Each structure stands twice: as structure tokens, then as C-alpha cells.
Amino acid sequence: MYVFSLLKEEVKALFPAYFALVMSTGIVSIAAHLLDFPTISVVLFWINNVLYAFMLCMLLCRVLFFFSAFNEDLRSHAKGAGFLTLVAATCILGIQHILLKDNYATARGLWYFALVLWIMLTYTFFIDITTKREKPSLEQGINGIWLVIVVATQSVAILGTFLAHHLPFPTERVVFLCLCGYMLGCMLYIILITLIFYRLTFFPMKAEGFAPPYWINMGAVAISTLSGATLILSINETTGFLDFIPFLKGFSLFFWVTGTWWIPLIVILGLWRHIYNHFPLFYHPQYWGMVFPLGMYTVCTWRLAQALKLPYLQLIPSYFIYIAFAAWAVTFLGLCLNLLKLFTSKNTTTSKA
């Protein structure tokens, strides 16, 4: 009974952005595949399939049995955007199925599911926060998790580009849709990062306020870089849109440079949080929002080097991947230890009772 009780509590309080666990595992698996670590890539692939199924069951149970708590989080300025991690996780899993197993059938199903979820969650979130009568201040209402909206949009575009020749629609129309999705993601990043940068620089920032999701400042431009590079590699005489290649090359490099600029700043602010301000380091699902950008930066740099024919750029991911491996391993260990602690404490409490 104590296991059931524990699961019930975890479902009710499920962190809205917990699908960042699947996003992180998936992108590190893809990075391992691209940089020739086949064993790691395959192991993470199978782990990710299990994680995705389990997390999806948890979310469905929360919607069915704790809808008021789910709805409250969805309508929250600070938390609502986190549900779009489900969209990004679904697309990244689909990309894994294509790259590692050449399984386009499963990837198609995941893309359709992600597209429907993206439409539902994006419009529900923006309509809700727009029509609310009582709204938080910018300082309280916005944080790095809002950029998951960008990540979800670009992930749908990337998987769609991979599937352009494997959908029951004309290829050029699918590529056009993905190109539009890429541009929409770019527009959303420029709007949202302006608000987030304003919040960081003109409002007081406490150590506890600079949470790991601010790493998505970099992760959102990294996936935008990957989306642009994927389109560059996919556009040809068959798919059309050759005139857009110079634009895509310039914007992809622009976003990659922006993401690279963010890394030292976020690292230094993290040190300021934990070392200078002595903020304790403990496991929280938010830390998956740090692992994902590290893996995504590895993948996007590798793909950008291919798209722009700049082989010397591949030196960066050949070292950066070890940082991504270490971040995933440490965070996953933290997750396991946290689950063990929860199980042990609940078991002890039940035994005393």
C-alpha cells in the first residue's frame, strides 16, 4: 500500500516540466549516435522509451484523477509553459527512432501526436494567461521555462523535416510547414528572451531564483540552430526553397553564436548561486533543464558544422559531449537516489504506524 500511496502523491504533485527528463536522455542519446558512441546511444534509447511511457502514464493519471491541480499548473504564468516539454520529448523520441532504428512508422505517429499537443497546449496556455484577471508581475511570472515554447516549436519542425519524404503529403508542403515552424520558433525566442533578459538585468535576483531552467536561454537557441541546420541539409531541388538557404545559414550561425555567448554567463551565475551564495545543491527535476541544453549544444554544433561545411567546428562537440554525458549521469544518479530516499522514508513511516 505504501508504494501506491507514494505514487499517488508523486502523480498529484508531478512537476509540469518533468518531460525534460525524456528530452535530456533523448538528445544525449542522439549526440552519442552522431559522435560514434553506439553502445551509450542504444542504451539511452531504450531507457528513454521506458521513461517516456512511464511519464506519459503519470501525466494521464494526473489529468484523470487530479485535474484541478493539473489545470492550476497549466494556467500558471510560472509553470504552465513547462507542459510543452511533452511536445519536445515526443519529437526527440521520434528523431531517435529514425536515427537509431530507421523506424519511420513510429516517428510518424509521434509527430502527429506532438503536432496536436503543440496546438492544444500552446493556444490553451496563451489564451489562459491573456484572459486572466489577476496576473503576476514580470518578476514573478516569467522565467527560463517559458522558452520551452520555443523548444517545442522547433522540435516539431525538426522531426517534420526528417519525415518530409515519409508523410502522405507532398514533400514541398511538409518542408514549407517546417520552414514556417522554424521561423515561428525564431520569432518566439526573440520576444521571450527580451522579456527574460529584462527580468534578469532590471529586477533583483536571489540565489534561489536563478534556477536551472535559465539554461534554456541557451538550449532554445541551440535547438533553433539545429532546426535551421536540418533544413539546410534537407532543402534541395526535390524539396524546393533553395532561395532560403542563405537566410537559413545566416540565421543558424546567428543563433549558434548567441547560444555560445550564453554558456559562460550561465556557468558564472550558477557558481554565484551555489558557491558565493552557498545555495545547497540537491536533486530537483529542474536540473533536467540544464542537461538538455548541454546535449542540444553538442548536437547542434555538429550539425551546423555539416550544414556550413566547417569541419573545424566539430572539434567543439567532440569535447562537449563528455560534459553532456557527465551532466546526464550525475542528474540521473540524483533522480535514483531521490526515489530511493522517498521510498525508504515512506516505508519507514508506514512501519512505525
| 347 pLDDT above the threshold of 70 | no
Residues in CB range of 271: below 8 A, 6 or more apart: none
User: Structure pTM?
Assistant: 0.94
- Residue 337, CA distances (Å) to 199, 330, 346 in order: 34, 11, 14
Whether 238 has a pLDDT exceeding 60, the answer reads: yes
Q: What angle do CA 333, 337, 338 make, to 5 degrees?
A: 115
Coil vs helix vs strand at 89: helix
Task: Assess whether pLDDT exceeds 60 at residue 353.
Answer: no
Q: What is the mean pLDDT of residues 148-175?
A: 96
* CA-CA-CA-CA dihedral for 207, 208, 212, 218, to nearest 10: -50
Tens of pLDDT along 119-154?
999 999 999 999 988 899 888 888 889 999 999 999
CATH of 1-339, one of 1.10.150.530, 3.50.50.60, 3.40.190.10, 1.50.10.150: 1.50.10.150
CB atoms under 10 Å from CB of 337, counted, come to: 12
pLDDT: which is higher, 26 or 132: 26
Give the three-state DSSP class for 81: helix
Single out the residue of 321, 269, 296, 334 nearest to residue 304, CA to CA. Answer: 296
Which helix H or strand E contains 289, and what residues bound it? helix 288-307
pLDDT tens sequence across 184-198: 999 999 999 999 999
Q: Which of 48-52, 124-128, 149-153, 235-239 is least confident?
A: 235-239
CA dihedral over 150, 151, 153, 158, signed as positive or negative: positive
